Chains A and B, each alone.
Chain A
Amino acid sequence: SAVISQKPSRDICQRGTSLTIQCQVDSQVTMMFWYRQQPGQSLTLIATANQGSEATYESGFVIDKFPISRPNLTFSTLTVSNMSPEDSSIYLCSVEGGGGNVEQFFGPGTRLTVL
């Protein structure tokens, strides 16, 4: 399976600011995914990011709030904009297994606290 890293691993931010989270994969992948895990909750898909095209957002998530970049096949960023305490969550990126497999492998996550 792919090795996935995320930066930062955690951060504490002030209300109204923005944070960009990086996701790096050790192999080329077509699709990358961004999930949010709110405190005590399960994972919810924010968007799917394909290289060379606009990200596809799930219902309830918009590009102005969560802009995503996907400049190449091994890297993606998610920005959490104009943050409020409700954005305090763990943000996770994942990649498909490849070779026709549909399972996804997850990075270690970024724990965000907004004050």
Chain B
Amino acid sequence: EDQVTQSPEALRLQEGESSSLNCSYTVSGLRGLFWYRQDPGKGPEFLFTLYSAGEEKEKERLKATLTKKESFLHITAPKPEDSATYLCAVVQGAQKLVFGQGTRLTINP
């Protein structure tokens, strides 16, 4: 069965301290891997779609990369407003999304 595992569960950084979040996946025939940001009390906000190993996408201080087994979300020089839960998901079957448990990121000023 398709599985998505994210690590760490929680990460606390100082403002400006770069780091990476990990998403490991097992899926038969990857059709897409997604990163979302979720703020407390809100729905997930779409960030990136990655389709094949070696692909990279960037948006402001965020950069997502993909290998055959995992994806990384790199955060460069984060700011307090980057604090959120970051979710990773893969497509299973027609269009069912299977989500990881998320990484709760806190950026201290």
Contacts and interface: CB of A to CB of B under 8 A. Distances in A.
B43 A104 contact: no
A102 B44 contact: no
Contacts of A1: 46
Interface string B82-109: 0000010101001111011110000000
B65 interface: no
Contacts of A43: 44, 87, 89, 97, 99
A114 interface: no
Given A42-B102, A107-B43, A109-B41, 5 more contacts: A48-B94, A48-B95, A102-B31, A102-B49, A111-B41
Interface in A15-74: 31, 33, 41-45, 48, 58
Contacts of B31: 102
Interface in A90-111: 92, 94, 96, 101-109, 111
A17 to B, nearest CB: 23
A58 B102 CA distance: 21
Interface residues of A, number: 24
Which 5 pairs from chain A and chain B are nearest by CB?
Answer: A106-B43, A42-B99, A102-B32, A109-B43, A43-B99
B72 interface: no
Interface in B23-61: 31-32, 34, 36, 41-46, 49
B87 A58 contact: no
A88 to B, nearest CB: 14
Contacts of B42: 108-109
B46 A105 contact: yes
